[in-house]
Amino acid sequence: MTVVREDLPAIRIKRGPETTSIIRGIARIGLAIGLLVAGFIVYQFGVTSLLAHRGQTELRSQLDIRIETGASELVVYEPLELAQSPIAVPFDLPAFDPASLPGLDPVSLESPVADFPGEEFGEPVIVFESVPVAGRALGRIVIPAAGVDWAVVEGVTRENLKSGAGHMPETALPGQQGNAVISGHRSTYGAPFLHLHRVTIGDVISVETATGTHVYQVVDTFVVEPHDTWVTDQWDGAWLTLTTCEPVLSASQRLVVVATLVAGPNAGTILAGT
């Protein structure tokens, strides 16, 4: 049997004004941090994506005008003295299948000489285009394996890449001799290269520019350190190198995809001289 003594005083815990203020302060700080984190996430993955898609609309309009106004010309092909590529093309690389690029216009792959039947050329020719001003549209890149269909801007500065994937200045233009380098974000500003890791050897990539559609086939994928800038060097032949951050949400390394030109207006001429 339990005996309760009524003469014992009840025990009450009082919180002084200092304790209450501290608890309220901690709660306010926690709320503020939570709001800041939420705002950061919304901006990084929401606002930047909206900005990128707005930029894409403008770039596609610029690209249409660039193509319609004929920002290209036919020139005599002069092979450049470039170093041999450190990337080897696999012997068992499957043949390019046009059906692997839905919507591809076969006419865009034809040699430019077909457009000049009245001209007599004693030397090989290629179709050439000038480099657009930084921040303006250069082309459109399509990678079925990675779900990529983005307009490409000239330049890879922070401001340039807010609009989408960017072409690195001082590297070859797509469809020309050398190594064309295109970089893109993997988590912000629309994350154009978010799924670049899905690309495997043999997959095809097309880049449409004012000179036509240039088709590349992937020959290697690998990860490098940020200081490994050799992947942007210029090599003999016609190459396309894509770079993005690795892993997702980090810039500690770089994911690299290297592809070789297999079809397009200049493919026959350049590859024949390689």
Residue 170 lies in a domain: yes
Domain containing 259 equals 46-272
Residue 174 lies in a domain: yes
Tell which phi-psi region holds residue 46, choosing left (phi > 0), alpha (psi between -120 and 50) or beta. Answer: alpha
Residue 178 lies in a domain: yes
| Beta pairing partners, 255 | 223, 244
Residue 24 lies in a domain: no
Q: For residue 178, give the CATH number of its domain.
A: 2.40.260.10
How many domains are contained in the chain? 1
Residue 29 lies in a domain: no
Cα 97 to Cα 109: distance, rounded to the nearest angstrom? 13
Residue 97 lies in a domain: yes
Residue 5 lies in a domain: no
| Contacts of residue 85, Cβ cutoff 8 Å, sequence gap at least 6 | 179, 235, 236, 237, 239
Q: What is the pLDDT of residues 119-177, one digit of tens each?
A: 555 688 899 999 999 999 999 999 999 999 999 999 999 999 999 899 999 999 999 99
- What's residue 40's pLDDT? 43
**pLDDT tens digit at each of 274 positions of the chain:** 555 555 656 556 555 567 777 776 677 676 666 655 555 444 444 566 778 889 999 999 999 999 998 778 888 899 999 999 999 999 999 888 887 777 787 777 877 665 544 455 568 889 999 999 999 999 999 999 999 999 999 999 999 999 989 999 999 999 999 999 999 999 888 899 999 999 999 999 999 999 999 999 999 999 999 999 999 999 999 999 999 999 988 889 999 999 999 999 999 999 887 5
Q: In whole angstroms, what separates CA 56 from the centre of its chain? A: 13
| Beta pairing partners, 223 | 255
DSSP state letters, 213-261? EEEEEEEEEEEE-TT-GGGGS-BSSEEEEEEEEESTT--SEEEEEEEEE
